[in-house]
């Protein structure tokens, strides 16, 4: 098993999807945007990005399984790719520049390689198990801020949450009283990369999917960060940090979510 081959494929796949996003940014007409569910939208760009990434990976690794946000798939295999062709769709269709492409490969259920491309910044974040985390050609590490009062936290939840929204608002309020600021960029994969390079000190995201976070958590881990994923009643939440705020964030969240 040559991890370098898989890593190069993840990086190239993310760039392939990112090119689709670049070509169509601020060119989508409202008639080309559709609701998958209430407050959950998809565009032809999501689908085109996923198709190109999937085609590329199938050609490279015909025996591997692939799961895409838009097309689904099966995780019953030794090697499984997870694709988020457009993380931050609402940002993209409104012209907000924080969005990306996330590609990861799991081996026996464990993240092996991952890449997240942020097209408008032309930044490629990537990592391989025990290889380290990188932004383009430069190694990245989580920040060293230890005091919660100096820390900036990324926070987010679904537009139509499965839980009572008051739960998320209470958690938000309590975290805000302990930290310097909270930001909600609206793209979990990108936020995890920002945490990995020290832009944020912590992150709390509710109701995420594996394709949202698989690449980002590997990048974060390899950059020295830590995380916990909570799964309960078909909901998946993630709490992550530079390692210094993890206990604080978990304590606050666990008061409201078990």
**Band of the pLDDT at 29, cuts 50, 70, 90?**
low
**Band of the pLDDT at 127, cuts 50, 70, 90?**
very high
C-alpha distances out from residue 202 to 144, 145, 173, 176, 250, Å: 11, 10, 15, 12, 11
- Structure-token pair, residue 234: 């078909």
Instruction: Give pLDDT, residue 89.
Output: 87
Q: Do residues 152 and 117 share a domain?
A: no
Instruction: Give pLDDT, residue 40.
Output: 41
* Mean pLDDT computed over 204-226: 97
Q: Do residues 213 and 129 share a domain?
A: no
Q: Do residues 239 and 152 share a domain?
A: yes
Instruction: Give pLDDT, residue 240.
Output: 98
Rounded CA-CA distance 202/95 in Å is 26
- Structure-token pair, residue 248: 């604080």
* Mean pLDDT computed over 188-209: 97
Q: Do residues 131 and 154 share a domain?
A: no
Q: Contact, 252 vs 171, CB < 8 A?
A: yes
- Report the domain count for the chain: 2
Q: Do residues 109 and 152 share a domain?
A: no
State which of 139, 169, 194 marks the end of a domain. 139
Task: Return the minimum-mean-pLDDT range out of 42-56, 153-167, 183-197, 211-225.
Answer: 42-56
- Say whether pLDDT at 33 is over 80: no
CATH number at residue 173: 3.40.190.80
The range of the structural domain enclosing residue 27 comes to 3-139
C-alpha distances out from residue 242 to 21, 58, 246, Å: 30, 35, 8
Task: Return the minimum-mean-pLDDT range out of 19-28, 120-129, 192-201, 245-254.
Answer: 19-28
What sections of 26-72 are H helices per DSSP? 44-60
Full-model pTM: 0.93
* Mean pLDDT computed over 7-20: 97
- Structure-token pair, residue 12: 């190239």
What sections of 61-113 are H helices per DSSP? 89-94
User: Among 190, 252, 202, which residue's Cα sits nearest to residue 227?
Assistant: 202
Spatial strand order in the sheet of 202-205:
181-183, 152-156, 202-205, 235-241, 226-232
Instruction: Give pLDDT, residue 34.
Output: 47
State which of 113, 139, 165 marks the end of a domain. 139
Q: Do residues 110 and 220 share a domain?
A: no
Q: Do residues 154 and 222 share a domain?
A: yes
User: Among 97, 66, 65, 89, which residue's Cα sits nearest to residue 159?
Assistant: 89
Instruction: Give pLDDT, residue 1.
Output: 62
């Amino acid at each position: 098993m040559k991890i370098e081959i898989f890593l190069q494929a993840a990086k190239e796949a993310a760039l392939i999807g990112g090119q689709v996003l670049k070509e169509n940014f601020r060119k989508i007409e409202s008639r080309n945007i559709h609701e998958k569910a209430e407050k959950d939208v998809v565009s032809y760009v999501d689908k085109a990005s996923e198709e190109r990434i999937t085609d590329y990976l199938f050609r490279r690794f015909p025996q591997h399984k692939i799961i895409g946000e838009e097309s689904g798939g099966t995780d019953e295999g030794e090697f499984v790719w997870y694709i988020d062709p457009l993380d931050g769709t609402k940002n993209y269709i409104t012209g907000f520049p924080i969005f990306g492409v996330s590609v990861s490969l799991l081996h026996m259920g464990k993240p092996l390689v991952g890449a997240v491309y942020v097209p408008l910044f032309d930044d490629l974040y990537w990592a391989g198990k025990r290889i380290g985390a990188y932004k383009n050609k430069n190694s990245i590490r989580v920040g060293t801020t230890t005091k919660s009062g100096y820390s900036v936290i990324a926070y987010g939840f679904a537009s139509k949450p499965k839980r009572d929204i008051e739960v998320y608002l209470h958690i938000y309020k309590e975290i805000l009283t302990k930290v310097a600021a909270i930001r909600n960029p609206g793209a979990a994969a990108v936020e995890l990369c920002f945490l990995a390079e020290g832009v944020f000190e912590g992150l709390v995201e509710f109701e995420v999917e594996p394709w949202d976070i698989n690449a980002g958590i590997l990048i974060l881990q390899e950059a020295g960060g830590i995380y916990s994923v909570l799964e309960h009643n078909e909901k998946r939440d993630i709490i992550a940090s530079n390692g210094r705020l993890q206990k604080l964030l978990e304590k606050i969240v666990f008061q409201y979510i078990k």
